[in-house]
Structure 1
Amino acid sequence: MTGRPEQTTAPVKTLAPLAREVVKAVAVEHGVCIRPVPMRRVNLTTGESERFDVPCGHTLASVCPSCAERKRKLRAVQCGQGWHLDSEPVIERADPDAQQRHLMQLRAHAQARRDAVEATGRPDEHGDLAWWDGLLLELDREIERTGVAGRLRTGDQRSRRTRSTRRRQDVPDLPRRPVENRTVGRTFLGKGGKTFRPSIFLTLTLDSYGKVRADGTPVDPATYDYRRAARDALHFSKLIDRFVQNLRRFVGYDVQYFATVEPQRRLAPHLHMAIRGTISRADLRRVAAATYHQVWWPPTDRIVYPNGRLPIWDAAAGDDGVGGYVDPDTGEVLPTWDDALDALGADPDAEPLHVVRFGPQVHAEGVLADTPDARRCIGYLTKYLVKNVAECHTPQTEAQRAHVDRLADALRYEPCSPTCANWLRYGIQPKNPRPGLVPGFCKGKAHRREHLGYGGRRILVSRKWSGKTLADHKADRKVWVLARLAEAGIPAARPDDPDGVYAWERAGPGDPDVRPLDERLLHLIDERIQRRRQLDQATQMATQLSATPEAA
Structure 2
Amino acid sequence: MVLPALPNVDRMKRRIQSPDYRDWRRKVEDVYGCLHPVRLSGLWQITDKTTGQVLTRSDGRPAETSGHILSPCGNRRESVCPACSDRYAADAFQLMRAGLSGGSKGVPVTVSDKPRLFVTLTAPSFGPVHNRRPNNGKALPCRCGRYHHEHDPLIGQPVDPSTYDYTGHVLWQAHSGKLWNRFTQKLRRYLARAAGLTDRNFKDHARLSYAKVAEFQRRGIIHFHAVIRLDGPDGAVDTTPAWGTVELLADAVRAAHADTTVDSPELDDGQVLTFAWGDQVDVRPIRPADARRFEDEHGTISDDRISSYVAKYATKGTGKSEAADRPIRSRTQIEYLRTTEHHKQIMRTAWDLGAPVACPDCHPDGEHQAGGCACATIDHCARCDNGGLIPGPFDELNLRRWTHMLAFRGHFLSKSRAYSTTFKQLREDRQIWRFEQNLAELGVDADSVAVVNHWDMTSVGHRTAEERELAAAIAERTRQARKQKYANERTD
Which TM-score applies when normalising by structure 1? 0.51
Deviations 1:324-355 (A, max 9, x none): xxxxxxxxxxxxxxxxxxxxxxxxxxx77332
Query: What does the per-residue CA deviation read over 1:27-70, in whole Å, with 9 as the maximum and x for residues that have no partner?
Result: 58992323332334457978998343222222122332211111
Q: CA, structure 1 residues 509+378, in 2 after alignment: closer, same or farther (shift >3 Å)?
A: closer
Alignment of 1:369-448 (within 5 A): 369-370=288-289, 371=291, 372-373=293-294, 374-391=303-320, 401-415=340-354, 421-424=355-358, 444=398, 447-448=401-402
Is 1:446–1:455's contact at 8 Å kept on the other side of the alignment?
A: no
Partner of 2:147: none
Distance 1:288 1:486 in 2: 51
Q: Per-residue displacement from partner, 1:449-470 (whole Å, max 9, x unpaired)? A: 531111221111111111x321
- Partners of 1:500 and 1:461 lie apart in 2 by 36
Percentage of identical aligned residues? 25
Where does residue 141 of structure 1 map in the other structure? none
Matching residue of 2:124: 207
2:273 is matched by which residue type in structure 1? Answer: H
SS at match of 1:383: helix
Bigger relative contact order (CA 8 A; separation at least 6): 2
- 8 A contact 1:390–1:451 mirrored in 2: no
The answer to whether the 8 A contact 2:15-2:466 is kept is no
- Deviation by residue 1:291-332 (Cα, 9 ceiling, x = unmatched): 11123x34323xxxxxxxxxxxxxxxxxxxxxxxxxxxxxxx
Please point out which of 269, 275, 285 is paired with 1:356: 275
CA distance in 1, matches of 2:157, 2:44: 59
Report the secondary structure of 2:312's partner residue: coil
- In structure 2, stretches of 5+ residues that fail to align are 1-8, 46-51, 55-63, 132-154, 193-205, 231-245, 295-302, 325-338, 367-380, 482-488
- State the Cα deviation string for residues 170-211 of structure 1 (Å, max 9, x = none): xxxxxxxxxxxxxx87x9xxxxxxxx4452111001111122
Contact 1:390 1:452 in 2 (8 A): no
Q: Quick one: structure 1 residues 84 and 221, their matched pair in 2 at CA, closer, same or farther if it must change by over 3 Å?
A: same
Q: 2:184 aligns with which of 234, 237, 244?
A: 244
Matched residue, 2:166: 226
* Structure 2 contact 215–223 (Cα < 8 Å) conserved: yes
The whole-number CA distance in structure 2 between the counterparts of 1:46 and 1:445 is 55
Residues 439 and 517 (structure 1), Cα distance of their counterparts in 2 relative to 1, 3 Å cut: same
Q: CA–CA distance in 2 between the matches of 1:454 and 1:37?
A: 28
Contact 2:350 2:403 in 1 (8 A): no
Deviation of the 1:80 alpha carbon: 0.7
Give the CA deviation at 1:404: 1.3
CA distance in 2, matches of 1:21, 1:363: 53
RMSD of aligned alpha carbons: 5.5
CA contact (8 A) 1:39 1:504 kept: no
Matches within 5 A, 1:45-84: 50-51=66-67, 52-84=69-101
Residues 289-304 of structure 1: matches in 2 within 5 Å?
289-295=258-264, 297-301=265-269
Q: Whole-Å Cα distance in 1 between the matches of residues 31 and 402 of structure 2?
A: 33
TM-score (norm 2): 0.56
Distance in 1, matches of 2:467 and 2:349, equals 47
Structure 1 residue identity aligned to 2:255: R
Give ranges in structure 1 of 5+ residues lacking alignment: 1-14, 92-183, 188-195, 302-350, 416-420, 534-542, 544-552
Pair 1:444–1:520, CA change in 2 (3 A): same
How far is 1:79 from its partner? 0.7
Structure 1 residues 425 and 383 mapped into 2: Cα distance closer, same or farther (>3 Å)? farther
1:272 pairs, out of 225, 250, 254, with 225
Q: Is 2:446 the counterpart of 1:506?
A: no
Change (3 A) 1:89 1:248: farther
Query: For this pair of structures, how many residues does the alignment match?
Result: 353
